[in-house]
Structure formats: structure tokens, C-alpha cells
Structure 1
Amino acid sequence: MAKIAYILLCHKDPEAIIQQANRLTATGDFMAIHFDARARARDFRTIRAALCDNPNVTFAKRRVKCGWGEWSLVRATLNALQAAVDEFPRATHFYMLSGDCMAIKTAEYARAFLDQHDKDFIESFDFFESDWIKTGMKDDRLIYRHYFNERTQKQLFYASYELQKKLNLTRDVPNDIQVQIGSQWWCLRRRTVEAVLSMTRKRRDVMRFFSTTWIPDETFFQTLVRHLIPENEIECRTLTFLMFSDYGMPVTFYNDHYDLLLGQDFLFARKISPDAKELKTRLGRLYAARDVEFKISNEGRNLYKFLSERGRTGQRFASRFWETESSLGRERELLILTCKKWHVAKRMLEQIRKLTNTPAIEYLFHEESTPLPDLGGIQRTLAKRTRHRRALVRMLFDYFETDRMIICLDPSALDLMHDFFSDRSHTRLLRIDCEFADDYLIGHAHRVGLAGEHAAKATLERLLPAIRNDISNEVDQIRDAGFERHWAVAERAFEKDNASAVAQFLDVPMDTAFEVVRTPHLFAD
């Protein structure tokens, strides 16, 4: 009978990971866990301590700092796979999971299904001929080398990319492989996994090629499996049910989706909302149940398509999808930098992004030109961003596939701060207090239209105390708001005090915090 070793890549929510591991191994299956090396060390210690007595759980021998679209995700998967192969000789199948996945069938059903179908389940479509990639970069993912993360190092990513294009620094695909593409959620037989791991040791050219490919978790295993396994032993599909909206965002499942999920011809589903407590409880109990009959209807995608199109066919004035979102999500952390000198906050933000790989966005509610992904139109104007503030930030969390993100707000945006702090998510605030020279305040008066280009010196001198007082009042209002999890750094403060505030705000070691406060020219005008 089939025995499944689950390969779990995760970076958050230790309690949920512990529950998932215990639930999936309680019926005799196995799990190998890779916990992101960028995540909190205390979370990893919690997971290790809770699962140390479970003989069916192991951990990747080497943890990797993971980033979306990077080779690091493949490396982490390979590390967890190797640990599973070494520790669980009775495992017949290896199933890739994320922390957002839950079983929608029983263990009994899953094993019987795999016994009946002696195949590898992995999407693998021809990279160049198929239309699997709908938008964005396609051939350039492969023919150029990608050393930076597009989401967290956007400027470096595109500077490197454009330079290679300008110099025509293209490269060839290894000539004996045909690159494939597909979903990263697969289930592979033991002999296939062993063949893949063997190839990674023998073919350094293939490893070098994929290590600088953009989004290799959609091409690496898909290509190697096709290269190693006969076509008639591959089922070109995933066993994990997932859907995407018209806007390219993953569809999230909630409490009322239980019956729909059980009717799909899949073993797992992704993504389950962190707030869907009832759904998680029911699905958790389901996995260990016996003699459950499932009526497979597979109507999920058609039903979702029908319901989502009603706003465009006959219900013209139905509310847009983002207008129904009321919370960022209970498990998410929104970190806010607030500073009147925008260039100071931007410098610190960039340093934090480099050191922690946390998605970070500049003054998105204040600057129309702030780079944002296409989110279906909600991002187009400052008025729309502000009106749908929670929905916008929630969609950015989804876009970056993260539960931790940093944004910048002007100190005048007290209403936005109150709104985010009142949400069920975890909000943190770091105030950056700067000194303001007269020349800077005069420039500020020109920038905001308080003074014309040719304003008399006497007029400017009368304005300065009022502007200085206005800035001071904004800071006082933030202090008086009583926000929990609120820290401050100051231009004139001791470096150690500033580092301590940053360490608490970011929840990082003091060494990292010192690197943040030592950002070159941080307070320079």
C-alpha cells in the first residue's frame, strides 16, 4: 500500500505547522519539513521541540533563506526531499505541500488512489510551445541569467536584465533537455525522486542553468521528470486543487466551501484562509476518517467562473470584488515606517528589504508614482487606494505570497494608522524623528504649495514656525494615539537606542538592527 512522505515548505505560523504535521502523520504517513531560514529562530525552535518525539517527522539538514521566484525555493525542496528519502525508506510517494494546503480526502482514499495509478502527478507542458504563461516574462526567464529577486530587489533585477539584453548576453538551454513548465504542487513516486536527486549530483550544467533561471520552481522538477520518466508514466496534472481569479490572484477558500472541496477530483486544496477555523477543523478530522464515500463532481472551477462573472453579466452595478474585503487577515503582520522626510524612510526601507528580504513598498497612499503590480484597477489612483486601503494591502500580501510586509506612511496619515491598528492583523509602527533645518522647511513650503517660487524672505520667515509646529503636532498626535507595538528612532538618539527600537520593530537580532540604523547617509538631506 502507498505510503506518502509529505514535503512541507513553510515560513510562518508554527502552531499550524505542528498541527498539520501531527495530523498527516497520525495515520502512518511521513513528513519532511523545510522551515525558511529567514523566519524567526524561536518559531523553528518551537516546531522542533513539539515534533522531536514524532518518528514520522524529519527536517531538512540544511535550511535555506527563501525568496519568491528564486532558486532558493528549489534548493529548499531538494534538501527536504533528500531528508525524506534518507529517513523514510518505506515511503512510496513524495507529495509537495505548503502551509496553506489541507487534505480534502481521507488518508485511506489517497493511498487507494495512488495504488490504482502507478504514475507521477506533475504538470509539465512545453515551455516554448504551450500557453501556460499568460502574461509577463517568458523566454527571457531562461535565456538570461537572473541573480536578483524581482519582488524585493526590483531595480537590481531589471538593471541586470536590461544590461544583458543590451549586450546580447543570452545563453542556450542545455541541448539534451526540453524545458517544461507547470504547477509546483506535485506528487512523485520514489524511483522518480531518486532519479531526480541522482541527476542533480551528476549534471552540474543543468543545476547551474536552473540556478539562475527566473521562477525555477515552475520548471525544474517539471523538466527533469519529463527527461527521466517515460511519458506514459506521467499524469500531466496536479493533485492539489487551486484556482486563480481573473486578476491572477489565488482564490482563497472559506468555511462554506467544505462540500465544494470534497467534490473535486483532488487530494488536497490550496489556499485555505487562516480565518476559516471551522473549515480547517472539519478537514482536519476528515483525513483520519475511514469508509468515507466521495461523490466527485468537479464543478469547482465552473461554479466559481459563473459566480464571479455575474458582476459583468446582468448585475452591472454589483460591488467590485475588492469592496467585500474587510480584514488583512488574522495571521498577517503589517509593518509601518512613518517619517516626514520621505527620502529618509525610503533609505531605511531599502536597507531593511536587503537585509530581511521582506516585501516593502514606499509611500503608496501618498505618491501616485509608487510602483505597484496590476491588481485589477484598485491601484490606479491615490483616491481609490485610500478608499479601499485594507483591500489594497490584503491584495499586496496575496501578490507577494507573504504574511509580512512593510509600507511607508506620512505622519499626517493618522486615520490610516488607526484603521490598520484596528484590524485583526498584527500592525507595528516605527516612527523616524528627524531634525528640520530652516532650508529644508523652506523647500517643504515650496513643495506643498505654501510658498511660491518668488516668495519674499520675510514671508518665509513667518511661515517657518508654523510649519515646524505643524510637523511637531503630527508626531505628538501619533504619540498620543496609544498605538501598541509602536517604537521610535531619532536623528539625535544614541545608535544603541535606535538599534534596540529597530530590533523590536522588525523582530530581528541586534546585529541586523545595527546594520539598519547604520544605513549610509540615512538622515542626510
Structure 2
Amino acid sequence: MAKIAYILLCHKDPDAIVRQAERLTAAGDYVTIHFDARADATDFRQIRTALSDNANVVLASKRVKCGWGEWSLVQATLHAVEAALEAFPRATHFYMLSGDCMPIKTAEHTHRFLDDNDADFIESFDYFESDWIKTGMKKERLIYRHYFNERKNKRLFYAAMGLQRRLKLDRKLPEDLQIRIGSQWWCLRRSTVEKTLRFAKRRRDVMRFFASTWIPDETFFQTVVPHLVPEGEIRSRTLTFLMFTDYGMPVTFYNDHYDMLISQDYLFARKISPEAQDLKRRLGLLYAASDVSFQISGEGPELFKFLTGRGRIGRRFASRFWETESTLGRERELLVIVCKKWHVAKRVLERIRQTTNVPAVEYIFNEESAVLPDLGGIQTSLEKRTRHRRALMRMLFDYYETDRMMVCMDPSNIELLEDFAADRSVTRMLEIDCTFTDDYLIGHAMRVGLAGEQTSAETFKRLLPTIRNDIIFESDRIRDAEFKNHHRFRETADLEKNAEALARFLSISQDAAREIADSPHLFAD
């Protein structure tokens, strides 16, 4: 009978990890956990203590700091697989999972399925001929060397790639391998895993190549396994059910998706909403049940396309991703810096980012040229960003793998501010009050096209009071809205008052806030 070693890569929510490990091992299977070395050490100790008496759980002793799109994810997987091979000699299969996966079949059904299908389950499509990559970079992932993380060092990432392109430093692919691509959620037999690890030790050239490719967790195993295993023993599919929106982001499942999920021809599903507690409870009970028969309909992807194509608003099977009223996430916190002087807000944002390491984006609803990651097209215009504002922010939270994020907005964006403030997430606002000299207002009028080089002094004399009154009106509207968690950071205020506002806005100490507020030239024009 199949004995599964689940390879669990995770970086947060220790309580959920412990519950998942206990659920999977209760059926007689094994769990190997790689907990991101970048994550909270207290969380890791909590996991280790809670599972210390479970003989079917092992923690990868070699932990690496993981980053999305980096080789570190593959290296973490290899460390976890090595630990599983050594700790669980009776394991016949190795199944990759993430912290937000849940079983959608019974353990009994899962074991019987693997017993009946002597094969490796891993998506493996020709990298260049298939349409697996819908948008964004394709050959550039491979032919250039990527030493910077696109999410953390966007400018360096694209600058380095641009330099290689200009200098024609594109490299050759390994000659004896056909590069293939697919989902990172695979299930491999023990013999295949052992062959893969031997290959990794023998072919250091291949390891060096993939170590500097972009998003190698979608190409490394998918390329190496077909090189080692006969084609007839590979099923080019994943056993984990997941769907993607038109913008390439995974669809999240909620409480009312239970019936749809268990009718899919898969063993697990990703990704389950952290808020879907009832769905998690029901699926957990299902996994432990016996003598359950499943009516496989497999209608999930087509039903999703049907409903989103009509823009359906509702509950059952609806895609919360596209609903205007969809929440950013009850556990998430959006920090909004509101300021008419964009350069001042950007300086404050950068100082906060340096001090707190909170991911941040600038005036994405005001500047067409604002730097954003490739999100499948939703980021390409101000109109799209504004129309799908909650969808955009959800994607950015997911992209940066965070529950706290900062964004800059112009005071004129009152409707956006009201929309985000009405969300179930926590929205905090820091309004930066600046002084506006006549010279600044003249420059502003010219920047926005209200005046030009030939505009007369008499015209400016009439125009400036109107612009000044507009700025005051926008600020008054924000205060009249009486937003919860609204704080003011004023150019004319003393250091202690500004530090106090920053401390409340960011939930940081007064000393850390004072360090930010005391930065030189914050308000300089």
C-alpha cells in the first residue's frame, strides 16, 4: 500500500501547519516540513515543540531563506526531500504541498489511487512550444542570469537583464536536456526522487544553470524527471487542483466551494482562503473518513470560466477575485500615505520601507509609469488599476507574500479611499499636510497643464488662489469623511507630534517613528 511523505514548504501560520501535519500523519503517512529560515524563529520553535512527539514528522535540518522565483525554493525542496528519504524508508511517494493546500479526497481514496497508478505525476510541457506561460518573460527566464529578486529589487533585476541583453551575454541551454515547464505541485515515486538527487550531485553544471534561472521551481524537476524516467511512466498533470484567473493569479476557494472541490479529479486543492474555516473543517473530516464514494464531474474550470465571463455577483462558486465588493482579506492591513506633494510622500514611504521593511508601491492610481510587477495585464493602465482596484491590491499582497503593504494616493482619490476604508481589511491613513508656496503652485499648474511658459503674471494671480482652495477642499473632504485610523503628519508640526502620528499609523515604537520623522529634507521641494 502507498505510504506518502508529504513535502511541506511553508513560512507562516504555525498553528495551521501543526494541524495539517497532524491531519496527514493520522492516516499513517509522513510529513517533512521546511520552514523558511527568513520566517519568525518563534513560529519555528512552536512547530518543533508541537510536533516533537510525532514520529511521522521530521523538520528539514537545512533551512534556507526562500524568495519567490528564486532557486532557494528548489534548494529548500531538495533539503526537505533528502530529510524525508532518510527519515522515512517506507515512504513510496513524495508529494509537494504548500501551507494553504487541503485534501479533497479521503486518505483511503488517495492511497488506492496511487496504488492503482504506478507513475510519476508532474506537469512537464515543452518550454518553448507550449503556451504554459501566458504573459511576461519566457526565454529571458533561461538565457539570462538572474541574481536579483524581481519582487525585492525590481530595478536591479531589470537593469541586470537589460545589461546582459545589450552586451549579448545570453547563454546556451544544457545541450542534453529539453527544458520543460509545469506546476511545482508534483507527486513522485521514491525511485524517481532518488534518481533526481543522484542527478543533482552528479550534474553540477545543470545545477549551476538552474540556480540562476528565474522561477526554477517551475522548470527544474519538470525538466530533470523526464530525463531520468521513461515517458510512459510519467503523467503530465498535477494531483493538486488549482485554477488561475485571466491575470495568472491562483483562484482562492471559500466555504461554499466544498461540493465543487470534492467532485474534481484531484487529491488536494490549492489555495484555500485563510477565512474559510468551515471549508477546512469539512475537508479535514473528509480526509479521515472511510468508505466514501466520489462522483467525479470535473466541471470546476469550465464553471469558473462561465461565471466570471458573465460577471456574476453571488456566493455559490462565484469568483471573489473579480467582485468589486471582494475583500482584500480580513487579516490584511493596507497603509495609505495621502499627500498632494508626491515627492514628499515618496520620501516618507522610502524611509518607512527602510525602517520597517513593509512592501510598498507609490502612486499606482495616479502615475501611469508607476513601477509594478507583471500581473498579467491588470497593471498596464490607470483605468484598469482603478476599475479593478481591490483585485489589483489583492494580487500585490499575494505577489509580495505579505499581510501589510503601503501605497501612496493623491487626496483627490476620495472614492478610492472610501472604498478601501469600507473593506473588511484594516486600512490606516497617514495624511501628510504640506505648505504650498506660490512658486510651488506655479510649478504644479505647469505640470498639470493649467499654465505654460507664456502664462502671464495676471493669469497666475487669478489661478493660484483657485488651486490653493482646491487643495484645501480635498483635504477637508478627507477629514469630513471621518475615516477610522486617520492620522496627520504635518510640515508645521514639531518632531514629537509627527513621531506620535507615525507610531500610531505604523504600529511601531515612538523611537523608531522619531527616527523616520527626523529624516532630513522630507518636505524639501
Count of residues paired in the alignment: 518
Question: Does residue 104 of the first structure (1) align with residue 71 of the second (2)?
Answer: no
Question: Does residue 253 of the first structure (1) align with residue 257 of the second (2)?
Answer: no
Q: For 2:452 and 2:69, locate their aligned partners in 1 and report how far apart those are by CA, in whole Å.
A: 48
Corresponding residue of 1:85 = 85
Contact 2:100 2:270 in 1 (8 A): yes
Q: After superposition, where does 1:390-405 map in structure 2 within 5 Å?
A: 390-398=390-398, 403-405=403-405
Contact 1:274 1:330 in 2 (8 A): no
Q: After superposition, where does 1:138-177 map in structure 2 within 5 Å?
A: 138-177=138-177
Contact 1:152 1:358 in 2 (8 A): no
Corresponding residue of 2:179 = 179
Kindly state the Cα deviation for residue 489 of structure 1 after the two structures are TM-superposed. 9.2
Corresponding residue of 1:315 = none
Kindly state the Cα deviation for residue 234 of structure 1 after the two structures are TM-superposed. 2.1
Corresponding residue of 2:240 = 240
Q: What amino acid sits opposite 2:259 in the alignment?
A: D
Q: After superposition, where does 1:35-50 map in structure 2 within 5 Å?
A: 35-50=35-50
Q: For 1:519 and 1:221, locate their aligned partners in 2 and report how far apart those are by CA, in whole Å.
A: 48
Long gaps (5+) in structure 2:
313-318
Structure-2 change in CA distance of 1:209 and 1:433 (3 Å): farther
Corresponding residue of 1:57 = 57
* Percent identical: 66
Q: What amino acid sits opposite 1:11 in the alignment?
A: H
Corresponding residue of 1:456 = 457
Corresponding residue of 1:266 = 266
User: What secondary structure, in the 3-state scheme, does the structure 2 residue paired with 1:405 have?
Assistant: strand
Kindly state the Cα deviation for residue 162 of structure 1 after the two structures are TM-superposed. 1.8
Q: For 2:498 and 2:198, locate their aligned partners in 1 and report how far apart those are by CA, in whole Å.
A: 51
Kindly state the Cα deviation for residue 168 of structure 1 after the two structures are TM-superposed. 0.8
Q: TM-score, normalised by structure 1?
A: 0.82
Contact 1:411 1:475 in 2 (8 A): no
Deviates most, 217-226 or 201-210 = 201-210
Q: After superposition, where does 1:98-497 map in structure 2 within 5 Å?
A: 98-310=98-310, 322-347=322-347, 349=349, 359-372=359-372, 382=382, 385-386=385-386, 388-398=388-398, 403-430=403-430, 439-448=439-448, 453=453, 454-456=455-457, 463=464, 467=468, 470=471, 474=475, 481=482, 483-484=484-485
Kindly state the Cα deviation for residue 104 of structure 1 after the two structures are TM-superposed. 0.4
Kindly state the Cα deviation for residue 263 of structure 1 after the two structures are TM-superposed. 1.8
Corresponding residue of 1:94 = 94
- For residues 136-189 of structure 1, give each alpha carbon's deviation from its aligned partner in whole angstroms, at most 9, with x where no partner exists: 322221111112233443322222212211111011122332222111000112
Contact 2:251 2:321 in 1 (8 A): no
Structure-2 change in CA distance of 1:186 and 1:366 (3 Å): same
Q: For 2:73 and 2:444, locate their aligned partners in 1 and report how far apart those are by CA, in whole Å.
A: 45
Kindly state the Cα deviation for residue 497 of structure 1 after the two structures are TM-superposed. 8.6
Contact 2:411 2:474 in 1 (8 A): no
Q: For 1:382 and 1:186, locate their aligned partners in 2 and report how far apart those are by CA, in whole Å.
A: 38
User: What secondary structure, in the 3-state scheme, does the structure 1 residue paired with 2:5 have?
Assistant: strand
Kindly state the Cα deviation for residue 83 of structure 1 after the two structures are TM-superposed. 3.0
Q: TM-score, normalised by structure 2?
A: 0.82
Contact 1:499 1:517 in 2 (8 A): no
- For residues 26-55 of structure 1, give each alpha carbon's deviation from its aligned partner in whole angstroms, at most 9, with x where no partner exists: 222222223334444444444444434433
Q: What amino acid sits opposite 2:342 in the alignment?
A: W
Kindly state the Cα deviation for residue 328 of structure 1 after the two structures are TM-superposed. 1.3
Q: What amino acid sits opposite 2:118 in the alignment?
A: D
Q: For 1:475 and 1:49, locate their aligned partners in 2 and report how far apart those are by CA, in whole Å.
A: 53
Kindly state the Cα deviation for residue 500 of structure 1 after the two structures are TM-superposed. 11
Q: For 1:82 and 1:455, locate their aligned partners in 2 and report how far apart those are by CA, in whole Å.
A: 76
Q: For 2:325 and 2:470, locate their aligned partners in 1 and report how far apart those are by CA, in whole Å.
A: 38
User: What secondary structure, in the 3-state scheme, does the structure 2 residue paired with 1:322 have?
Assistant: coil
Contact 2:122 2:182 in 1 (8 A): yes
Q: For 2:51 and 2:424, locate their aligned partners in 1 and report how far apart those are by CA, in whole Å.
A: 29
Q: What amino acid sits opposite 1:250 in the alignment?
A: P
Corresponding residue of 2:506 = 505
- For residues 339-379 of structure 1, give each alpha carbon's deviation from its aligned partner in whole angstroms, at most 9, with x where no partner exists: 44322433454577688876532212222333456768765
Contact 1:143 1:170 in 2 (8 A): yes
Long gaps (5+) in structure 1:
313-318
Corresponding residue of 1:19 = 19
Q: For 1:259 and 1:339, locate their aligned partners in 2 and report how far apart those are by CA, in whole Å.
A: 47
Q: For 1:5 and 1:353, locate their aligned partners in 2 and report how far apart those are by CA, in whole Å.
A: 40
Q: For 2:40 and 2:345, locate their aligned partners in 1 and report how far apart those are by CA, in whole Å.
A: 24
